[in-house]
Structure 1
């Protein structure tokens, strides 16, 4: 029986009831490929012949093909642009010799040349126009030679030296299904969708390479060689992790032959340094043996040797819970992959040791259940992550996706999570973004996810929600339903609707609340115990839902030892329900004791029987951070240290009620003691989050109080944050604030001020400019070609208008050229210390920490030649003592120097009071994410010395700026998301 006939038979044997209900069909592609590896020039030379079978009811006049090696050809491809967007510029600045491509294509259909052309926008997509239309049920043969120039390891296809990762490497027809054609460019964030069929592949390469590949190896001699290597590795006691040298390639070559039916992709990985381990798994249902292989180098050999159980457990438990593994072997390969911790292909995966379970599990979710991963990544990565968690829990009940063994060791005890279930730790990752309004729907296409959310939402949140669904349905019913899904849709292309239909039919439960309400939503549910009463030996608990979603939630009765005595679930869609417990000796009633309900605020989820305040939780003082708990209210603290010339060294602590997740009411109170003037200093920042909808992700009302050096200030504010829909959506912020600043040194600055701010920033990089007083600001910046436009207005006695524009471009990894333009105008009565500063603003609102505020001003009201600047207003780095009470315009250029940590700068400016062009130049050195910068002047205008007269003069002319916002852990967490 030929391979394609066997595949077609598999389709015919699928349940007739399903085929009768739906006019399902899918295309079939059967490949024959011969390829030769040139490991000196890092190229592939190949010929390919494929049979395309049209099972659709449509007549086809063309075929789309993927030419994915062309994704690596230059900076204009979708892959290259996504890499930049995701803050990875390695490929952008790679030399041409490090890039890749596919060439030498000469497509023929049934032996006849055809017209074909690359897509105008995406060179990794081609369209073949057929000479004769292909009718329903028709077959044709497409053949072509091709050569692949292998890129360096930027993503999935590539090489590191003579270690080869050969994936997405051959011309492949795009999927044609009920929705039409799916031609898609290659992306790093966003996986694949391919047609099922058979593969017959011959790989020629130097004889001393060891290969892990899709398919069943047909060479007895090579099978014996692998067995021999496995025996040697099993007997080996130690490995030299530093020995990673490639041996010379053998002069002789070998041709390895692989065949496999019912797969939709073929990948292979080759290295001359591989050690081999071989094992076997007996499948739980059919009892058929499956051979498992580990191929690895010395790099992490000790860890790989311990990983045999991981690959065996993955094959066994996925088979147990879903259905038996259909192939003869499963292989995990150690490779120099750049696309995350691992990447899966049918029967083989390239991976890090810690990701083996996840990557091997993809044989079910991707390999056997071939969903459209680009459109529905949660069907693949998310559900697979759920099963990965279950496999890990078989050996360690405390092991979740993130938690691992953290909650059992000293770190877990220090962070106060040692007694929590793994879900409590795992869900903190996506709840952190959700609490800030940065969540995205689980069901979004892969390319729409912001980088952080792709991991936390697609993987972690989906896994958490399926744990929740399993608990609601019961493990036995859930497993039975997923086994039905596996049986009906193996080797096919299931959609989310297909999964829902199978689960509903199998369980008899309507699950629209899960698939239509919960998965596509970014709204978090909130359930709480309204009342709990005991009458006549029974306990009744009333559960109330607030917000948009009324989802089922588990409610448990616990005894005094915290053990669960009785549980019930509320029904979906009901906003208030009363549950009855009959167990005796109930000590407390708890909502969601296993932390599976995707809820943010759990502090109202427990009722303690017989207590004077049954809903009040004890307060726990917790260092640094932890996750939100049901049984404790946590007050976090961290030590704080400060310094200025008036207060001297300051020591204290910051107390805050949230960090990983934002609460509706959150605060930071940081009292400190100044040893210089022996007084209390510090700040208090309190914010309340107002529910937001539509274009707004959150609205905050806040108040900030500060007391340092010679001033104290009070600033209530109202801030609006825009919703971030896609990775390219700019982050925008509109603030209304009223500032009261009392300065003992400059009493004429004491006055209330109204501040109006609008700022925009990209999620990849932080804010460039902080406003001074009243400001209007708007900006859009893009990574590697950024722009921030800021307009500020201020009114007290005079009115001040300020406009700034900043642009930057990277010219090599980590090195940028930045240009900033500034223009400011003042009108009205010119009094006091209100002016535009050429070398920095007077910081009226005390928004920048200054070490020395005493000497900030001269007797004439201008800035002294002090060493610290806030880089505002004119932005001159050198201490040019020039101000303007009319208008000012400046240009600031900064260029990072290659190799060194230094940058050169040049500042040019004009003020209304002078007809001369003012300038300064020098070297800039940055530390700690550019939070601290030192400026070494080498030239300046006539307002300062051209060449310092002495070393003391030069030392005094050195200036610095300080931006503690760049190190603020709350701000860093926001930028990460």
Structure 2
């Protein structure tokens, strides 16, 4: 390859020769090339669409100068002009139709002349950055033919499947830059204002170039390989760094075998895409971990990834679990050997107020089963054979890697340490620098043991079935104990039974073939508790019910009160208490104490009781709920939620209300976990009893019951989102039907269009007044579901709070309610960033009146959607509102202080 960098235009001009060998036993009529430089070309590429799924729109709306693309000037095969084209739906893949069939063991020479416009590095980390250029996947790469062509578009998951190659590169760059790479540099020549670098590489998988104004990679010459990295820490001196890297490489070599290359190039950009979660997420100013520990673990993870991926050539889009499994297996082994005393929270676990929590007692390796349970308990986990591009980001980056590593440790513990360790090493040595797959590893394991491992390479790997056993009962029979163990789910796997004394293991026994319920007999011993999976050897769906006391007594586990939240404690039934502070205009600051049973890991049955004291109302109020989640694995239903809830709060000065609600909801499964859409069918019964002022007689507007049936759909695509809600309400005095549709779109110029249609009609209405009527500018919220700060206010700042409901108008017009029907259309059109203009029209019909036509327009400042917004009315049925009296009182605001809503906004695209 010969390449020249035009720094002014960020363009590489490349002349490339590829000698492609047919290593298969089939004759080939075509050859495919990966052209990932072209994946930045427009907003129709697979990469751009992938970013949209992740709620990132920078590439979709990128400026022309920030985009990247390739322009193929000439392409020939065996020096004859070739017939080639980009695939219609994958423009980063080139198909070459061969004029002559390529026979097995034969080769062709592909010659290409092309230019590459380098993209802005802000998209994927690769391309032009402030300091220069960091390049990866920048040249044409032949696809692998293995049981068919393995072609894949760039999806920013760095998983290009390619065979090893010998590289010879000449590259010319401006004098102001210095080039560093993972190739061997055998010459550098200065020619005027430019430098020419000559690079070679033998049996390399891919090439990374760092072109910067100053060399930024540090060199560590260890006993085994030469490590170059820009992952630096000023407190790690060269001798100490070299010593640490020597230890890491020796450790890896003992488990795998010798690294076949003389150098390891560890770049910060690639590493930053796969950080050590739990290490980088805690604030640096707290200094929870020592600099040595952080650098050691960061480098060990980066080195193991490169060590394995540079030598084991598996398809990391379809067969990634083994590479991930080996890497995380080694990480757990390394941490256990050299840092057994380090806790998950580091030094924070020693701080007063933190150290008493079970969470603070977790060791660094305990995060792996814990995070797996976090996903599993919500039934959001995916099998280890799910294609990488179909995994949710949370599963791809974290959960599936953890499950794979835990799986190898699980298998190791069940078979014995040497079998798995020897199998990994044999697999590595046999397949070093060869195209391979995980089936080869499975065959090696099977050859080394007589125990059945089909459950592991079957259900554990290929499904998301969950291991979940419990000790159902224990009966003492003379000097023995009969233990009945129940398999609560649909996978049969080996499980470990422990005898425990003072939280220490007295005995351990592996049990197999328990597919439903089984009673085993064990001898009595010096232990007073039996426990399953006590050491968290394998990832289990639910470990709360794994323990059984042998001491007798009324309760197997005593009650324990714990401040705030904590992880599960198998020795206790936990009840959590935590301060709860809220505010409404009538109660003032609500100072409460929330009692609940919800640990960090979700549980199916949840309850909460929150008594509160209102500083303004000087009264006791409170809320409660009980929920049960039922999950489904083999149907189109994701889960059903059964709920009972209630509250006692003030809705007006010195007037409180009681609500008691029951509901059942059905949430349907998404097409894939990368689909953020939601479909929910719910049925709710609301019971409301309101206090009235002294001397006032209660009416049907003060004590009522309403049944609501609704279907909600939401597709929150960041470019084109659509949602709707269809519902009906039935009360003793009325019944109504409601439909709400909302469409939000971003144009090609990144202008937001937001349209909403609301239609509501009474089927019957025998009520008096407007309490149950449709509200044009403010919903009455007789179901007490909207978060109004001052729900009864007709003046003052809290009357200006805006919640988009029913009519959705911002101006207060002469006709505010409709007791027959209301049809409202709301629109928002973006002008610049968060500045928008809104236009609303509505038709309202009241009994005995003509249809009222309402209209308004104004300015919307959409700072954070649905969290903080301001509305400034301009023109409506009231005329020009800006110049009217007391205009500041006409301004409406949206303000959400709900932590859950804020958290959901920022987590989009990850979970």
Partner of 2:80: 112
Of 23, 39, 47, which residue of structure 2 is paired with 1:55? 23
- 1-structure distance, mates of 2:106, 2:576: 68
Write out aligned runs for 1:386-785 (5 A): 386-397=329-340, 407=349, 413=355, 415-532=357-474, 541-560=483-502, 562-577=503-518, 584-613=525-554, 615-623=556-564, 625-658=565-598, 660-693=600-633, 694-709=635-650, 710-724=656-670, 725-728=672-675, 730-745=677-692, 747-749=699-701, 750-761=703-714, 780-785=715-720
Does residue 789 in structure 1 map to residue 724 in structure 2? yes
Write out aligned runs for 1:228-377 (5 A): 252-282=193-223, 289-295=224-230, 301-302=234-235, 308=242, 311-335=245-269, 339=273, 341=275, 355-377=298-320
- 2-structure distance, mates of 1:107, 1:148: 15
What TM-score, normalized to structure 2? Answer: 0.88
Partner of 1:228: none
- 1-structure distance, mates of 2:403, 2:331: 14
- 1-structure distance, mates of 2:589, 2:676: 42
Does residue 871 in structure 1 map to residue 804 in structure 2? yes
Where in structure 1 are there 5+ consecutive unaligned residues?
A: 1-32, 223-248, 283-288, 343-350, 762-779, 858-862
How far is the alpha carbon of 1:271 from its aligned partner? 1.9
Does residue 384 in structure 1 map to residue 318 in structure 2? no
After superposition, the Cα gap between the structure-2 partners of 1:208 and 1:647, relative to the gap in structure 1 and judged at 3 Å, is closer
- 1-structure distance, mates of 2:393, 2:7: 34
- 2-structure distance, mates of 1:215, 1:332: 12
- 2-structure distance, mates of 1:156, 1:45: 21
What SS does the aligned partner of 1:917 have? strand
Q: Which moved more, 1:632-641 or 1:546-555?
A: 632-641
After superposition, the Cα gap between the structure-2 partners of 1:295 and 1:421, relative to the gap in structure 1 and judged at 3 Å, is closer
- 2-structure distance, mates of 1:204, 1:211: 10
Q: Verify the 8 A CA contact 1:203 1:257 in the aligned structure 2.
A: yes
After superposition, the Cα gap between the structure-2 partners of 1:806 and 1:557, relative to the gap in structure 1 and judged at 3 Å, is same
After superposition, the Cα gap between the structure-2 partners of 1:845 and 1:395, relative to the gap in structure 1 and judged at 3 Å, is same
- 2-structure distance, mates of 1:83, 1:124: 16
Q: Verify the 8 A CA contact 1:70 1:124 in the aligned structure 2.
A: yes
After superposition, the Cα gap between the structure-2 partners of 1:727 and 1:522, relative to the gap in structure 1 and judged at 3 Å, is same
Partner of 1:768: none
How far is the alpha carbon of 1:67 from its aligned partner? 0.9
Q: Verify the 8 A CA contact 1:201 1:258 in the aligned structure 2.
A: yes
What SS does the aligned partner of 1:510 have? coil
| 1:357-414: CA deviation from partner (whole Å, max 9, x where unpaired) | 22221234322111111113323334423323333333212559x7666656668626
How far is the alpha carbon of 1:54 from its aligned partner? 1.3
What SS does the aligned partner of 1:817 have? strand
Q: Verify the 8 A CA contact 1:965 1:971 in the aligned structure 2.
A: no
Does residue 828 in structure 1 map to residue 775 in structure 2? no
After superposition, the Cα gap between the structure-2 partners of 1:280 and 1:588, relative to the gap in structure 1 and judged at 3 Å, is farther
How far is the alpha carbon of 1:686 from its aligned partner? 1.0
Does residue 161 in structure 1 map to residue 130 in structure 2? yes
| 1:231-267: CA deviation from partner (whole Å, max 9, x where unpaired) | xxxxxxxxxxxxxxxxxx9954443333333333222
| 1:443-462: CA deviation from partner (whole Å, max 9, x where unpaired) | 20011112222223322332
Q: Which moved more, 1:638-647 or 1:527-536?
A: 527-536
How far is the alpha carbon of 1:959 from its aligned partner? 2.9
- 2-structure distance, mates of 1:411, 1:442: 39
After superposition, the Cα gap between the structure-2 partners of 1:751 and 1:47, relative to the gap in structure 1 and judged at 3 Å, is same
How far is the alpha carbon of 1:843 from its aligned partner? 0.8
- 2-structure distance, mates of 1:442, 1:475: 23
What SS does the aligned partner of 1:918 have? strand
- 2-structure distance, mates of 1:974, 1:688: 25
Q: Verify the 8 A CA contact 1:921 1:937 in the aligned structure 2.
A: yes
After superposition, the Cα gap between the structure-2 partners of 1:47 and 1:629, relative to the gap in structure 1 and judged at 3 Å, is farther
How far is the alpha carbon of 1:961 from its aligned partner? 4.0
Partner of 1:848: 786
What SS does the aligned partner of 2:170 have? strand
Partner of 2:855: 919
How far is the alpha carbon of 1:80 from its aligned partner? 0.3
- 2-structure distance, mates of 1:171, 1:572: 51
After superposition, the Cα gap between the structure-2 partners of 1:202 and 1:974, relative to the gap in structure 1 and judged at 3 Å, is closer
Does residue 145 in structure 1 map to residue 131 in structure 2? no
Partner of 1:233: none
What SS does the aligned partner of 1:365 have? helix
Partner of 1:935: 871
- 2-structure distance, mates of 1:735, 1:304: 62
After superposition, the Cα gap between the structure-2 partners of 1:853 and 1:41, relative to the gap in structure 1 and judged at 3 Å, is closer
How far is the alpha carbon of 1:664 from its aligned partner? 1.5
How far is the alpha carbon of 1:42 from its aligned partner? 1.9
After superposition, the Cα gap between the structure-2 partners of 1:386 and 1:113, relative to the gap in structure 1 and judged at 3 Å, is same
After superposition, the Cα gap between the structure-2 partners of 1:302 and 1:600, relative to the gap in structure 1 and judged at 3 Å, is same
After superposition, the Cα gap between the structure-2 partners of 1:810 and 1:330, relative to the gap in structure 1 and judged at 3 Å, is same
- 1-structure distance, mates of 2:820, 2:241: 72
How far is the alpha carbon of 1:327 from its aligned partner? 0.9
- 2-structure distance, mates of 1:972, 1:206: 44
* Coordinate RMSD, CA, aligned: 3.2
Q: Which moved more, 1:788-797 or 1:953-962?
A: 953-962
- 2-structure distance, mates of 1:685, 1:423: 35
Q: Verify the 8 A CA contact 1:800 1:825 in the aligned structure 2.
A: yes
- 2-structure distance, mates of 1:408, 1:426: 21
- 2-structure distance, mates of 1:530, 1:104: 68
- 2-structure distance, mates of 1:966, 1:787: 24
After superposition, the Cα gap between the structure-2 partners of 1:563 and 1:75, relative to the gap in structure 1 and judged at 3 Å, is same
- 2-structure distance, mates of 1:813, 1:458: 38
What SS does the aligned partner of 1:107 have? strand
| 1:841-872: CA deviation from partner (whole Å, max 9, x where unpaired) | 21121001323234469xxxxx9993234321
Q: Verify the 8 A CA contact 2:4 2:12 in the aligned structure 1.
A: yes
Partner of 1:910: 843
Q: Verify the 8 A CA contact 1:436 1:698 in the aligned structure 2.
A: no
Q: Verify the 8 A CA contact 1:44 1:147 in the aligned structure 2.
A: yes
After superposition, the Cα gap between the structure-2 partners of 1:801 and 1:656, relative to the gap in structure 1 and judged at 3 Å, is same
What SS does the aligned partner of 1:82 have? helix
How far is the alpha carbon of 1:302 from its aligned partner? 4.8
Q: Verify the 8 A CA contact 1:930 1:966 in the aligned structure 2.
A: no
- 2-structure distance, mates of 1:616, 1:352: 42
| 1:717-742: CA deviation from partner (whole Å, max 9, x where unpaired) | 11111123241362211111111112
Partner of 1:890: 824
What SS does the aligned partner of 1:418 have? helix
Does residue 955 in structure 1 map to residue 908 in structure 2? no
- 2-structure distance, mates of 1:295, 1:325: 21
After superposition, the Cα gap between the structure-2 partners of 1:35 and 1:506, relative to the gap in structure 1 and judged at 3 Å, is farther
Does residue 37 in structure 1 map to residue 5 in structure 2? yes
What SS does the aligned partner of 1:62 have? strand
Partner of 1:212: 180
- 1-structure distance, mates of 2:622, 2:856: 36
What SS does the aligned partner of 1:471 have? helix
What SS does the aligned partner of 2:154 have? coil
